[in-house]
Amino acid sequence: MQYLVFVIADEHDSTSVDRRPAISEFNRRLMSEGYWVFAGGLASAETSTVVDNRDGQPVLTDGPFVESKEYLDGIWIWNAPDLDVALRLAAEASQICDRQIEVRPFATP
């Protein structure tokens, strides 16, 4: 089953520790163990644009969809045999990234 894994940052997160080497090593392990599908870090929430074209007239709004002290900092997509494995990996990811992690399975057709 595939899982979308959100890395959640807080606007007050300010660490001087560069976690990229540890994250890269974790990603290599995910790849070698067959869990890796995709990953990517995101630019700051202030760089986002919301597009709403539900009425056939596109409306563009600068900034995040929801004003919040927490924001999406990055994502992974993992292949895992079950939720328990995905949650175990998420616990490791949380410690490595020093961030909260949300795990959500993709809907099955």
pLDDT, averaged across the chain: 92
The closest of 77, 74, 68, 73 to 104, measured between CA atoms, is 77
Of residues 3 and 48, more confidence is placed in 3
Is residue 51 situated within a structural domain?
no
Q: What does the pLDDT read at residue 75?
A: 98
Q: What is the total count of domains within the chain?
A: 1
Six-digit token string for 66: 């929801």
Entry pTM: 0.88
Q: What angle do CA 31, 32, 38 make, to 5 degrees?
A: 5
**Residue 94, pLDDT above cutoff 90:** yes
**Residue 12, pLDDT above cutoff 70:** no
> Which residue range(s) make up the domain with 64?
2-11+19-45+59-105
We report the CATH number of the domain holding residue 80 as: 3.30.70.1060
Q: Are strands 36-41 and 100-105 parallel, antiparallel or unpaired?
A: unpaired
**Residue 44, pLDDT above cutoff 90:** no
Residue in the structure block whose two tokens are 């490791």: 92
Is residue 95 situated within a structural domain?
yes
